[in-house]
Amino acid sequence: MGGPDFGALGEEAELVEVEPEAKQEILENKDVVVQHVHFEGLGRTKDDIIMYEISDVFKAKNLIDVMRKSHEAREKLLRLGIFRHVDVLIDTCQGDDALPNGLDVTFEVTELRRLTGSYNTMVGNNEGSMVLGLKFPNLFGRAEKVTFQFSYGTKETSYGLSFFKPQPGNFERNFSVNLYKVTGQFPWSSLRETDRGISTEFNFPIWKTNHTLKWEGVWRELGCLARTASFSVREESGHSLKSSLSHAMVIDSRNSSILPRRGALLKINQELAGYTGGDVSFLKEDFEFQLNKQLIWDSVFSASLWGGMLVPIGEKPSSIADRFYLGGPTSVRGFSMYSIGPQSEGDYLGGEAYWAGGLHLYTPLPFRPGRGGFGDLFRTHFFLNAGNLCNLNYGYVMVFSLEQESDFYNTETFLHHFMKPCSVIEIKTIMYLNVV
C-alpha cells in the first residue's frame, strides 16, 4: 500500500499560497471584529483626542480593512505632531471574552519631549538666514503647541511666539495666535520696515477647499535704507497702524508643491483694512492659478496666472508697504527683484494693480544621465512669461518679458533645475526685451 505523496502535496500548497488574488480574496472575505485597541507609551496625552483619531479602526469588517484603517489611524496620530514614533501591532484577541474572529490592535507610541529645539539655515531669494526655534509640543495633552522662533538674515530679522490649537478629530480645523516683530530691508525701494503685531487665524476645510480667516493688528515703522532714497520713499517714512480682516481660499489638487507633475492650484485672497481700527484703509484682492499636465517622455507642461488689485478707501493714498511688487525669479524672470512698475529716482514704489503669467515646459536632461538615481533630480526648464504692474492713478504701464536662450537666440529659454524635497535651485541664462 502506497502512502500519501507529501512532496507533491507540498508543491501544490506552495503554488496556491503564492497566488496573490486567492490570498487577498481569503483575507477580504474573512469577517473579523476589532474588540480592543491598546496604547503603549502614552504619558501626558489625553484619551479623548486619541479616540477621535482611531475610531474608524473599530468599524473594520475584515482583515484587509483592519490593516488599512490601522495604517490610516497611524498617519493621523503622526500628523498631530505629538509623537516621535507610532508602530501598529495586530494580533488575535486574548482573554475570557475573546471571540473566535476577534482582534486586538496595539499602537506603540513614543511621545515627543516637553521641550524641543531646532537650528537650521535657509538660503533663498538672494538672502541667507539662520533660524533658531523652541517648541512646547502637546502642551495641555490635546495637541496644543507653543512655538518661539528667531530668524537672523542678511535682509530680515524676526522673532515670534505662536500658540496652535487643533480641533479634536479634525486636525485641518485649527486656531492659532501669533505675536511677532519683523525688521526687513528692501533695497529695491531703499526702504526699511519694522512690524510689531499680533494676529489670530482660524483654518477650516469646506468640501475640497481650505479656508483661512485672519485678523491682524500691526504697528508699522517705515524708514529710509540709504541717504540716496528718493523723496517718494522719504515721505512714506513714519509710523502707521493697520488693523485688517482677511480671507484666503485654496484648492490644491497637485501631486506635489515642488515642481508638480499633474493637478491644479487656485488661491484667492481678500483683505479689508480700516474697519476694525487703525489709520490705514483699503480693499485688496489677489489670486493665483496654476495648471500642470504630464506629457510624453516624462515631460510636464505648466501654465500659471497671477493677478491682484488694491483700492484705497477714503482720500488717503495707498502705502508703499501695502502695494504689489513684481519681477524676479519668483514672478517674472529676467528682471531684478521687484524691479517692474512705477519708480522714483531708481526706487521702485510698487503698484496697485498687476497681472503676471507664464508657460513652462519641464523635461529630463538630454540623454538622461544618471537615470534612476541622482540624475532624476535635474530637469531642463523652457519658459515664457509676461507681467504688468501699475498704479490706478498713474495710467497704464505695460511690461513684457520675452526671454531667450543666449546661445541660440530663439524664443525658448532654458534653465537647469536641481530638485530637493523642499527647494529648487536654478541655473539660468536670460536675455529679455522690455516694452513700455
The number of domains in the chain is 2
Res 311 pLDDT > 90: yes
The pLDDT, as a whole number, for residue 101 is 86
| Exposed e or buried b per residue across 214-226, where buried means at least 16 C-beta atoms within 10 angstroms of its C-beta | bebbbebebebbe
- Residue 351's domain is classified under what CATH number? 2.40.160.50
Residue 162 lies in a domain: no
The pLDDT, as a whole number, for residue 373 is 64
Question: For 347-403, what is each residue's pLDDT tens digit?
Answer: 899 999 999 999 999 888 776 665 666 666 778 888 888 888 988 764 444 444 433
The pLDDT, as a whole number, for residue 396 is 43
Clarify whether residues 70 and 193 are in a common domain. Answer: no
Angle at 301 between CA 297 and CA 307, to 5 degrees: 170
Clarify whether residues 215 and 355 are in a common domain. Answer: yes
Res 125 pLDDT > 90: no
The pLDDT, as a whole number, for residue 16 is 43
What is the DSSP secondary structure assignment for residue 258, as one 8-state letter? S
Reported as type and span, the H/E element at residue 433 is: none
Clarify whether residues 319 and 410 are in a common domain. Answer: yes
Q: Find cell 536654478 and name the residue.
A: 426
Widest distance between CA atoms in the chain: 112
Clarify whether residues 47 and 179 are in a common domain. Answer: no
Clarify whether residues 237 and 377 are in a common domain. Answer: yes
- In the predicted model, what is the mean pLDDT of residues 321-341? 87
| Domain end marker among 111, 129, 151 | 111
Res 428 pLDDT > 70: no
Residue 138 lies in a domain: no
**Is residue 40 exposed (0-12), middle (13-18) or buried (19+ Cβ within 10 Å)?**
exposed
Q: Which residue has the higher pLDDT, 277 or 291?
A: 291
- In the predicted model, what is the mean pLDDT of residues 247-267? 92
Clarify whether residues 82 and 213 are in a common domain. Answer: no
Average pLDDT over the chain reads: 82
| Domain end marker among 111, 137, 153 | 111
Clarify whether residues 106 and 202 are in a common domain. Answer: no
The pLDDT, as a whole number, for residue 310 is 94
Residue 409 lies in a domain: yes
- In the predicted model, what is the mean pLDDT of residues 195-214? 95
Clarify whether residues 187 and 84 are in a common domain. Answer: no
- Residue 40's domain is classified under what CATH number? 3.10.20.310
The pLDDT, as a whole number, for residue 97 is 83
Residue 105 lies in a domain: yes
Clarify whether residues 52 and 201 are in a common domain. Answer: no
| Domain end marker among 111, 127, 158 | 111
Residue 91 lies in a domain: yes
Domain boundaries, position 312: 169-428
> Whole-model pTM?
0.78
